[in-house]
Amino acid sequence: MLEPRLQQPFFDAADLLYQAAEALGRPLGEALQACVACLTGGGKLLATGGPLADHAATLLVHGFERERPPLAALSLAADATPLRALGHPGDLLLLFDDALPAATALALVEAAHDQDMAVIAFSGAAPSWRTALAETDVLLSVPHDRAARVREVHLLLLHALADGIDLQLLGEQDPS
Protein backbone atom coordinates (compact mmCIF):
# COMPACT_ATOMS: atom_id res chain seq x y z
CA MET A 1 0.00 0.00 0.00
CA LEU A 2 1.47 3.36 -1.06
CA GLU A 3 -0.68 5.64 1.06
CA PRO A 4 1.50 5.49 4.23
CA ARG A 5 4.64 6.16 2.19
CA LEU A 6 2.97 9.11 0.46
CA GLN A 7 1.88 10.52 3.81
CA GLN A 8 5.28 10.12 5.46
CA PRO A 9 6.84 13.30 3.95
CA PHE A 10 4.04 15.34 5.53
CA PHE A 11 4.74 13.86 8.97
CA ASP A 12 8.51 14.28 8.53
CA ALA A 13 8.06 17.89 7.42
CA ALA A 14 5.74 18.67 10.35
CA ASP A 15 8.27 17.27 12.83
CA LEU A 16 11.10 19.20 11.20
CA LEU A 17 9.13 22.45 11.12
CA TYR A 18 8.51 22.19 14.85
CA GLN A 19 12.23 21.61 15.51
CA ALA A 20 13.26 24.37 13.11
CA ALA A 21 10.86 26.91 14.65
CA GLU A 22 12.61 26.52 17.98
CA ALA A 23 16.16 26.36 16.61
CA LEU A 24 15.86 29.13 14.03
CA GLY A 25 13.69 31.77 15.71
CA ARG A 26 16.58 33.87 17.03
CA PRO A 27 18.79 33.59 13.90
CA LEU A 28 15.80 34.42 11.70
CA GLY A 29 15.25 37.59 13.76
CA GLU A 30 18.93 38.47 13.29
CA ALA A 31 18.60 37.85 9.54
CA LEU A 32 15.57 40.15 9.43
CA GLN A 33 17.44 42.91 11.23
CA ALA A 34 20.37 42.56 8.82
CA CYS A 35 18.09 42.73 5.76
CA VAL A 36 16.20 45.77 6.99
CA ALA A 37 19.44 47.55 7.96
CA CYS A 38 20.89 46.81 4.53
CA LEU A 39 17.82 48.01 2.63
CA THR A 40 17.22 51.13 4.71
CA GLY A 41 20.93 51.95 4.51
CA GLY A 42 20.87 52.04 0.71
CA GLY A 43 22.29 48.58 0.14
CA LYS A 44 20.99 45.72 -1.94
CA LEU A 45 20.37 42.05 -1.30
CA LEU A 46 22.24 39.71 -3.63
CA ALA A 47 20.91 36.16 -3.63
CA THR A 48 22.68 33.10 -5.00
CA GLY A 49 22.50 29.35 -4.83
CA GLY A 50 19.77 28.10 -7.15
CA PRO A 51 16.02 28.42 -7.58
CA LEU A 52 15.41 29.77 -4.07
CA ALA A 53 17.78 32.64 -4.83
CA ASP A 54 15.64 33.54 -7.84
CA HIS A 55 12.52 33.30 -5.68
CA ALA A 56 14.11 35.51 -3.00
CA ALA A 57 14.93 38.24 -5.50
CA THR A 58 11.43 38.04 -6.98
CA LEU A 59 9.81 38.38 -3.55
CA LEU A 60 11.93 41.38 -2.68
CA VAL A 61 11.56 43.19 -5.99
CA HIS A 62 7.89 42.42 -6.66
CA GLY A 63 6.54 42.01 -3.13
CA PHE A 64 5.38 39.13 -0.98
CA GLU A 65 1.72 39.25 0.04
CA ARG A 66 1.00 42.94 -0.39
CA GLU A 67 1.89 45.71 -2.75
CA ARG A 68 4.86 47.89 -1.97
CA PRO A 69 7.63 49.69 -3.83
CA PRO A 70 10.31 47.35 -5.20
CA LEU A 71 13.31 46.64 -3.01
CA ALA A 72 16.89 46.44 -4.28
CA ALA A 73 17.55 42.73 -4.84
CA LEU A 74 19.21 40.62 -7.52
CA SER A 75 19.66 36.92 -8.10
CA LEU A 76 23.18 35.99 -9.20
CA ALA A 77 24.75 32.89 -10.67
CA ALA A 78 26.44 30.75 -8.01
CA ASP A 79 29.86 32.08 -8.94
CA ALA A 80 32.07 34.53 -7.08
CA THR A 81 32.74 36.63 -10.20
CA PRO A 82 29.32 38.34 -10.47
CA LEU A 83 29.32 38.83 -6.71
CA ARG A 84 32.68 40.59 -6.92
CA ALA A 85 31.41 42.71 -9.83
CA LEU A 86 28.11 43.78 -8.25
CA GLY A 87 28.63 43.56 -4.49
CA HIS A 88 29.55 46.66 -2.53
CA PRO A 89 30.14 47.42 1.15
CA GLY A 90 26.81 47.49 2.93
CA ASP A 91 25.20 44.97 0.58
CA LEU A 92 24.06 41.60 1.90
CA LEU A 93 24.50 38.13 0.40
CA LEU A 94 21.65 35.64 0.75
CA LEU A 95 23.35 32.29 0.17
CA PHE A 96 21.27 29.15 -0.41
CA ASP A 97 23.77 26.32 -0.19
CA ASP A 98 21.52 23.26 -0.54
CA ALA A 99 22.30 22.93 -4.27
CA LEU A 100 25.96 24.00 -4.10
CA PRO A 101 29.22 22.15 -3.59
CA ALA A 102 30.89 23.15 -0.32
CA ALA A 103 33.83 24.71 -2.18
CA THR A 104 31.47 26.99 -4.12
CA ALA A 105 29.64 28.07 -0.97
CA LEU A 106 32.98 28.82 0.70
CA ALA A 107 34.17 30.85 -2.31
CA LEU A 108 30.95 32.88 -2.24
CA VAL A 109 31.27 33.62 1.49
CA GLU A 110 34.88 34.69 1.00
CA ALA A 111 33.97 36.88 -2.01
CA ALA A 112 31.23 38.58 0.02
CA HIS A 113 33.64 39.28 2.84
CA ASP A 114 36.21 40.64 0.36
CA GLN A 115 33.52 43.14 -0.71
CA ASP A 116 32.75 44.05 2.94
CA MET A 117 29.36 42.37 2.70
CA ALA A 118 27.63 40.37 5.41
CA VAL A 119 26.14 36.95 4.64
CA ILE A 120 22.87 35.28 5.52
CA ALA A 121 23.48 31.61 4.84
CA PHE A 122 20.58 29.20 4.38
CA SER A 123 22.08 25.76 4.96
CA GLY A 124 21.44 22.21 5.97
CA ALA A 125 22.82 20.71 9.16
CA ALA A 126 26.39 21.78 10.01
CA PRO A 127 27.87 22.97 6.69
CA SER A 128 31.60 22.29 6.43
CA TRP A 129 32.29 25.92 5.47
CA ARG A 130 30.50 27.48 8.49
CA THR A 131 33.84 28.43 10.08
CA ALA A 132 34.31 30.97 7.26
CA LEU A 133 31.30 32.95 8.50
CA ALA A 134 32.05 36.18 10.32
CA GLU A 135 30.49 37.38 13.55
CA THR A 136 28.23 39.72 11.57
CA ASP A 137 26.92 36.86 9.39
CA VAL A 138 23.82 34.81 10.15
CA LEU A 139 23.59 31.04 9.67
CA LEU A 140 20.11 29.58 9.20
CA SER A 141 21.07 25.93 9.51
CA VAL A 142 18.16 23.53 9.12
CA PRO A 143 18.67 20.53 11.44
CA HIS A 144 18.15 17.82 8.81
CA ASP A 145 20.21 15.82 6.31
CA ARG A 146 17.65 15.30 3.52
CA ALA A 147 17.91 17.99 0.87
CA ALA A 148 14.17 17.97 0.12
CA ARG A 149 13.24 18.66 3.75
CA VAL A 150 15.95 21.34 4.02
CA ARG A 151 14.65 23.14 0.90
CA GLU A 152 11.09 23.06 2.28
CA VAL A 153 12.23 24.80 5.45
CA HIS A 154 14.39 27.24 3.46
CA LEU A 155 11.29 28.25 1.51
CA LEU A 156 9.35 28.83 4.72
CA LEU A 157 12.26 30.80 6.20
CA LEU A 158 12.39 32.93 3.06
CA HIS A 159 8.66 33.63 3.21
CA ALA A 160 8.90 34.54 6.91
CA LEU A 161 11.82 36.84 6.12
CA ALA A 162 9.93 38.55 3.27
CA ASP A 163 6.89 39.04 5.50
CA GLY A 164 9.08 40.43 8.27
CA ILE A 165 10.77 42.86 5.88
CA ASP A 166 7.38 44.12 4.71
CA LEU A 167 6.22 44.47 8.32
CA GLN A 168 9.35 46.38 9.34
CA LEU A 169 9.27 48.70 6.33
CA LEU A 170 5.52 49.23 5.99
CA GLY A 171 4.03 48.45 9.40
CA GLU A 172 1.01 46.31 10.10
CA GLN A 173 -1.28 45.68 7.18
CA ASP A 174 -4.74 47.23 7.34
CA PRO A 175 -7.23 44.36 7.88
CA SER A 176 -9.62 45.54 5.17
Total of domains in the chain? 1
Is 8 part of a structural domain of the chain?
A: no
Q: Does residue 67 fall inside a structural domain?
A: yes
Express each pLDDT in 80-124 by its tens digit: 999 999 999 999 999 999 879 999 999 999 999 999 999 999 999
Q: Is the pLDDT of residue 175 over 70?
A: no
Tens-digit pLDDT profile for residues 3-47: 988 999 899 989 999 989 989 999 999 999 999 999 999 999 999
Q: What is the CATH number for 60?
A: 3.40.50.10490
Per-residue pLDDT at 2: 86
The answer to the question of residue 89 being in a domain is: yes
Work out the average pLDDT over 165-174.
Answer: 89
**11 in a structural domain:** no
Which residues are within 8 A (CB) of 63 and not within 5 positions of it... i.e. 6 or more apart?
Answer: 70, 166
Residue 68 is given by DSSP the state -
Q: How many residues does the chain have?
A: 176
3-class SS at 119? strand
* Full residue range of the structural domain in which residue 66 is found: 20-170
pLDDT band per the 50, 70, 90 thresholds, residue 173: confident
- Does residue 7 belong to any structural domain of this protein? no
Candidates 158, 122, 141; CA nearest to 20 is 141
Return the exposure string of 131-156: e unless at least 16 CB atoms fall within 10 Å of the residue's CB, then b: ebbeeebbbbbbbbeeeebbbbbbbb
Helix (H) or strand (E) holding 69: none
Which stretch of 63-67, 132-136, 159-163 has the lowest confidence by average pLDDT?
A: 63-67
